[in-house]
Structure 1
Amino acid sequence: MAEWQTTYRIAWFWVCLFGIFALVSLKFCLDIDYKAYNTPTFMTERLLERDIPAHVGASLELKNYENVKDGKCLKRLPKAIIVGAMKCGTGTMNEFLNCHPDIRSLTGENDFFINDTLYNKGLTWFKNIMPCTYPHQIAITKKPQYFVRERAPPRILSMDRNIKLIFMLRDPVERAMSNYLHRLHAGKVAGKEFLQMVFLPDGRTVKETNEYIHISSYVDHVQRWLKYFDKTNMIFIDADLLRIRPWIELKRVEKFLGVRDYFTEDMFPFVEERGERCVKQMSGDFKCMSEKKGRSHPKIEEESEKLLRNYFAPLNRQLFELLNTTFDWE
């Protein structure tokens, strides 16, 4: 009996000794792993292996790694809205900004601020449809119809009086024709010619109440927005300049939004087969405008175009004076 007890005690001693040795070894290995792998580079690779958006993980710097590590990807209300105008490159601006690692854009459009049914669901519902963002990121959304809808500015103001508003504009005559072409391809024009819709029967008097003319009368809409928001909350981008030199216009928007300097000229090579500048994504693929974008406009008589330009000229001058800037729309 005594011999059995002695053997048992010896065996238990060796088991305990082995256990202590195993724990010490494990701690040593973990310390090595922590020192070797607890780095921004390693953690970025691990983020890319998980369900983390590529444009978040792929460009993380040390400061952003700390933000991701210490913060959570949460649903938050947008800090900026692209509010229009229609057919002025709002979709292109939205796509380009979504390539910025500090910006997450809502996919598609949502007319929350002009749709009573949606608006009555409340801001919590609106927040929950936004993409999740980390502390160093901002969420944005777009809806070009906000530009001309009277209920949009006060409702957006009630959500956030400091929100950033991005206005996309272009030559008003070109915009009107693009708007017509868009509706024509959507089967919503019922065979009417562009000039029939924007002129009275005399063929010389512009029909001010026409939808295409109304939207292109920018100064009227901007004045309404200025009743609710300070000009410092707004930035105005010429869609043609965004097409020609996107990196310059996007740098203006970066500064306006308060995000880091990210876009560079070499990110926007000219793609011959598309005949336009596209943004080079981190995957190496190019993000270009939709095939539906950039359709050639209908040809109109020189005299009719002159009448339209004469109509918009004083409105453009009022806009330029209001914004203390000019655009090459003549």
Structure 2
Amino acid sequence: MPVSTSNQVTLEKSPFYISDPEALYRIRAMNSSIMVMVIVREPITRLLSAYSHYLSVSRVFGKDVDSFEKHYIPGGKISEHNVLKWGNYADRMEYVYSVFSNNNHAFSFLSVVIRKQVLLLDGDKFVSDPLSQLRRVERFLGIRQYFSEEDVYFDKRKGFYCYKLRDNSDTKCMDGSKGRHHVEVDPDVKEKLLNFLKPYTNRFLELTGEKFDWDV
């Protein structure tokens, strides 16, 4: 982590921290009071995003690629490894809550300590309404409200929201690895995956006490 002055808040991110319990323990060892933010998306959208990355990387190395259905449901049977790697939010959040909690009792995760140190953000709203989530981040970190409607705009070419820089006329958008086109998913395939993930999703929602638009 870079050095921060007393009037700065430093943020760092990786999608792999949450899937690696050892990384979470190393983070806590570095700073046990660190503020943790976790962003989740609708489960099928998350699987599609992971699949798009798989396609991109495979093509770079000239590898053959499976279809979305064969990748997650090879031979008509769900690949638990591939699906749960990205779609099982419950186990991931249990790790986060257990590592960043002063309470050693199992599943005592909804304590004040947890609520002060871990923030769960809606990744789908970050796409459709980024300002709402940015303001949640500001409140969580205890910093003054900075972002306003004037700081964000929808980029029609990229298909998602970008940011305007206040000190000049430049804009800031995510790079080409973001906003990749997602393949179309057969409704029956989607339903099969959702039904498989439902117990994990329900446990995740019960664990966090959060509500999402995709909570069906």
The TM-score normalised by the length of structure 1 is 0.57
Q: Output the amino acid matched with 2:55.
A: L
Q: Is 1:310 the counterpart of 2:213 in the alignment?
A: no
Distance in structure 2 (CA, Å) of the matches to 1:184 and 1:274: 19
Q: How does 1:144-155 map to 2 (within 5 A)?
A: 144-155=15-26
Partners of 2:22 and 2:4 in 1: CA distance? 28
- Residue 6 of structure 2 aligns with an amino acid whose one-letter code is P
Percent identity between matched residues is 29
CA drift of 1:306 comes to 0.7
Q: What are the equivalent positions in structure 2 for 1:9-28 lying under 5 Å apart?
A: none
- In the TM superposition, what are the counterparts of 1:101-140 in structure 2 within 5 Å? 127=1, 130=2, 132-140=3-11
Q: For residue 321 of structure 1, what is the aligned residue in structure 2?
A: 206
* Residue of structure 2 equivalent to 1:237: 121
* Aligned 8 A contact 1:243 1:277 in 2: yes
For residue 158 of structure 1, the aligned residue among 5, 26, 29 is 29
Which residue is equivalent to 1:52?
Answer: none
> Bigger shift: 168-177 or 188-197?
188-197
Give the secondary-structure state (helix, strand or coil) at the position aligned to 2:10: strand
The answer for the alignment partner of 2:90 in structure 1 is 219
Question: Shift of residue 322 of structure 1?
Answer: 0.8
Structure 1 counterpart of 2:49, one-letter code:
S
Mapping of 1:12-161 within 5 angstroms? Answer: 127=1, 130=2, 132-161=3-32
Q: 2:45 aligns with which of 158, 167, 174?
A: 174
Q: Who is 2:181 aligned against?
A: 296
Aligned-CA RMSD value: 1.7
* TM-score, normalization by structure 2: 0.85
Q: Is the 8 A contact 1:168 1:239 kept in 2?
A: yes
**How far 1:133 sits from its partner (Å)?**
3.5
Which whole-Å deviations, capped at 9, do the CAs of 1:26-50 have from their partners, x for residues lacking one? xxxxxxxxxxxxxxxxxxxxxxxxx
Residue 169 of structure 1: CA displacement?
0.5
CA distance, structure 2, for counterparts of residue 134 and residue 155 of structure 1: 22
8 Å Cα contact 1:279/1:288 also seen in 2: yes
Secondary structure of residue in 2 paired with 1:321 = helix
The residue identity in structure 2 corresponding to 1:309 is: L
**Is the partner of 1:144 in helix, strand or coil?**
coil
Q: C-alpha separation between the residues in 1 aligned to 2:95 and 2:19?
A: 9
1:200 CA displacement: 4.2
2:144 is aligned with 1:272: no
Contiguous gaps of at least 5 residues in structure 2 = 102-113
Match for 1:149: what amino acid? D
Compared CA separation, residues 196 and 273, structure 1 to 2 (3 A)? closer
* Residue 199 of structure 1 pairs with residue 84 of structure 2: no
Separation in 2, partners of 1:150, 1:271: 37
Q: Which fold has the larger relative contact order, with Cα–Cα distance below 8 Å and residues 6 or more apart in sequence?
A: 2
Superposed CA deviations along residues 101-149 of structure 1, whole A, max 9, x for unmatched, are xxxxxxxxxxxxxxxxxxxxxxxxxx4xx1x533211212112111101
Give the gaps of 5 or more residues in structure 1: 1-126
AA at the equivalent of 1:184:
L
- 1:194 partner amino acid: F
Distance (Å, rounded) in 1 between the aligned partners of 2:206 and 2:70: 32
In structure 2, distance between residues paired with 1:224 and 1:133: 27
For the Cα contact (< 8 Å) 2:32–2:100, is it kept in 1? yes
Partner of 2:130: 246
Corresponding position of 1:281: 165
In the alignment, the residues of structure 1 paired with residue 90 and residue 79 of structure 2 have an alpha-carbon distance, to the nearest angstrom, of 17
Q: Bigger radius of gyration, 1 or 2?
A: 1
Counterpart residue type for residue 327 of structure 1? F
